[in-house]
Each structure stands twice: as C-alpha cells, then as structure tokens.
Amino acid sequence: MRKPLSLLLLLAAACAANPLPAEEMIPGATVEGRVFDAETGEPLEGALVSIYQLPALPANPEDYRAWNHDDTTVVANATTDENGAFSVVVSWGYYQLYYSARNHDVGYSEPFELAVKEVYSVEVSLPFQEEAVARKPNLYLYPVEETAIAVELAFPAGGRVLESNPLYEGGWSTTVRPDGSFGSGYRFFFYEAETPDNWVRERGWLIEKENLESFFRENLTAYGFRGAEIEDFIEYWVPELEAMEEPQFMIYPQTTEIIDPLIELDIQPAPDSLLRLYYVIDNCEPLFALVSPPEIPAFERAGFTAVEWGVVLDNVSGRQVK
C-alpha cells in the first residue's frame, strides 16, 4: 500500500511564452530538482526520474497517472547524482514526473505545462520502504539417484522465512527421488521470505494482462524450466495476476547472481546444475517505456539438478508488500 508522499513543487517561469504547435516544438525548457529520503532528509543518489509527456492538461489532475494512458510518452529518464539532483532539457509541452528509488516508495508530480525557456523545479521526499516479500518460491530437486539431501536458507542482507511447506525448522532434510518427489506426495519445497528490497529493476518486459500465460510459458521455457515446473507457476500466478486491477505489468527477472545476496540457498550435496529465477512484478508505473528486455542466459541440465522460481509483487492492487 502506498505511503503518504511529501511533495513540494516549485515552479519558476523564465519567460511568458505563447504555446507552440506540436510541429514547432523545440528543446529549451528545463526540468530539474532534487530527491530526498523522507525520514532522514538525506539526498538520494541513483533515484530514477521519468518524464512523461501528455497530450494536454487533464481535467482532474489530482487523479491523473500518465502511465495508465496510451497517449502519453516517456521522453526522458534521469538519474540523480550524489546530491540527489537531476536536470533534463525538454521541449515545450505538458508533463508529469514519476520518481522511484531503491528501498523507497514511489512518487509523482501533478501534471504541469512547460513553456520554452521555462524552468520547472521540484523537490520530492520519498518514504523509506524497508522490506519486500519473495512469494511462493518453489524449489525442485532432481538427484540422479535416490539421495538424502539437506537444504538451508540464509539471508546475508537480513530477512526471515515467513511460511514454508514442508515446515522449515532451520532447514529441510529428506530423501529425494530422481523424479523430484519426496516424503508423502511432495514434489517441491515451498517457502516465502522477507528480505530488504534490493531487487533489481533495470531490464524487463511490459506484458498485457491477456498475454500473461503465453508470456510466462515462453519465458520460463527459455530460461530452462519445463513440465510441471511451468504448470505449477501458471496454475498459481496467472489467476492471481489476472484478478488484479492492472491492465498490464512490468516484469523484471532476477537471476542467481541477484538472488544469492538476498537469499542464499545451501544444498548438500551440491547440485551439478542450479537455476534460480524470480520475477519482480510491478504495476507498470516505473520507467517501462524505455526499459530494455534482458538477455536470457543458457541453462543446461546435467547431473543432480536444482531449479527454483519465485515472485516479488511490487505496488500491485490487492497486495501489500510488507
């Protein structure tokens, strides 16, 4: 659930210019500002500022969100420096700003008009958002032969297990068959975990709600998942996401090198092949228009294989990450 946002907007006009037709728009207006931590007042380095251009000023500006409209465009992205400052030159037009920073809640300005040589200055404070929840990671183990296996989770940056099945009491220890089954009908180890929100949102895919199933089938297959691993994901997550209000989602993959610093997975004996993939699924407010799709690394199953998928929901309706 979004936290209250303290937002101070300062608008200074350098000259009073008449609006120009779209075909005569030229660079020369400036959007600048600083982004701070709402609690400490310290500047936030590396915060992302997305500048959306609008076709006109909306009738209800307080309720307007540019990223929910097809007729808006991200014309520039800016990253704040060590002083929390950014500055971008744009053309005359109508704009709305969107702010995001790691471990902080998001923020946005009201829509505004910007004339040639005009300077729009903003100071924004983003509330700290301490934790995220890795939801429903499923861990599948496939030893070459029936093997006694021990699994432990660790949280180098802080965190804890919230739910698990079988019950996680400092670890799991059981005998696993080559088809991945163990105990009385188990096929995978399930857990949910609380971690710092250090997940990476740099590359991903913008997916319409009606395309979620086909996307996940193709994407999971491309990463190296197969069979029941994919069906389990589809069966749980597609209905969950389709029941939400958002018409589209931004999906950021998190691979082993991103997951390990947050959730370490110690499997003994160690697997010969290990595949870990989480998706950070966002409600599409971030800088989706200029986000590039990631490259998918090759994965080959050889010997004792362990594969795991999970999801982190970020700012989506009906779910509160806390």
pLDDT at 105: 73
Residue 149 lies in a domain: yes
Which residues, including other chains, have CB under 8 Å from residue 21's CB and lie 6 or more apart? none
Provide the number of structural domains found in the chain: 2
Q: Bigger pLDDT: 98 or 180?
A: 180
Query: Is the domain of 82 the same as that of 182?
Result: no
Query: Is the domain of 173 the same as that of 302?
Result: yes
pLDDT tier at 6 (50, 70, 90 boundaries)? very low
Mean pLDDT value of segment 26-46:
89
Dihedral sign for Cα atoms in the order 243, 248, 253, 258 = negative
Query: Is the domain of 263 the same as that of 308?
Result: yes
Residue 212 lies in a domain: yes
Q: HSE (CB half, 13 Å, CA atoms) of 81? A: 7
Residue 251 lies in a domain: yes
Query: Is the domain of 90 the same as that of 170?
Result: no
| Residue-range definition of the domain harbouring residue 100 | 6-126
Query: Is the domain of 187 the same as that of 136?
Result: yes
- The percentage of residues in the chain with a pLDDT greater than 70, rounded to a whole number, is 85
Longest dimension (CA), the chain: 78
Q: HSE (CB half, 13 Å, CA atoms) of 24? A: 6
The span from the CA of 190 to the CA of 287, in Å, is 32
Residue 1 lies in a domain: no
Domain boundary among 79, 96, 126: 126
Query: Is the domain of 30 the same as that of 98?
Result: yes
Domain boundary among 105, 126, 147: 126
Q: Are 93 and 85 in contact (CB under 8 A)?
A: no
Write the CATH number for 66: 2.60.40.1120
- The percentage of residues in the chain with a pLDDT greater than 90, rounded to a whole number, is 61
pLDDT at 293: 85
Query: Is the domain of 122 the same as that of 140?
Result: no
- State pLDDT tens for residues 232-273: 999 999 999 998 888 889 999 999 999 999 999 999 999 999
Residue 14 lies in a domain: yes
Residue 321 lies in a domain: no
Query: Is the domain of 48 the same as that of 67?
Result: yes
* Burial classification of residue 181, based on how many CB atoms lie within 10 Å of its CB (0-12 exposed, 13-18 middle, 19 or more buried): middle
Domain boundary among 126, 161, 186: 126
Query: Is the domain of 75 the same as that of 35?
Result: yes
Query: Is the domain of 143 the same as that of 27?
Result: no
Residue 135 lies in a domain: yes
> Which pTM value belongs to this model?
0.63
Query: Is the domain of 89 the same as that of 163?
Result: no
Residue 322 lies in a domain: no
pLDDT at 301: 97
Query: Is the domain of 146 the same as that of 261?
Result: yes
